[in-house]
Amino acid sequence: MRLDQETLADATAADVAGRADYAGQLVAWARVATESRTPRLASSVGLWESPSQLKRRIAILLDEKLTVLRNCSHRWRVGSVLTLVLLALSLSLVTL
């Protein structure tokens, strides 16, 4: 789930800066982070979690065939709401 969150954030940033430029910036930040001692708080950014995760994020950014969808279809939303309502009603009946 963390990688999905980072992918959505990366896609938004890449829309502004461009895919290649943003991927280059991620690599530059990673180089600076490995050269200097980064504080523990910096790990919350998600960039310094692991080199393999950074590699996956950059591969996703540079894959031109990949499109990140930021929202779901109307049908999916309606289906999700109906499922949650039915689940809540079912659980209410069980507790009665």
- pTM value? 0.56
The predicted pLDDT at position 75 comes to 94
The predicted pLDDT at position 63 comes to 83
The predicted pLDDT at position 80 comes to 95
The predicted pLDDT at position 14 comes to 86
The predicted pLDDT at position 91 comes to 92
Q: What is the mean pLDDT of each run of 10 residues along the chain (96 residues)?
A: 81 86 87 67 55 83 76 90 95 86
For residues 11 and 60, what is the distance between their CA atoms, to the nearest angstrom?
9
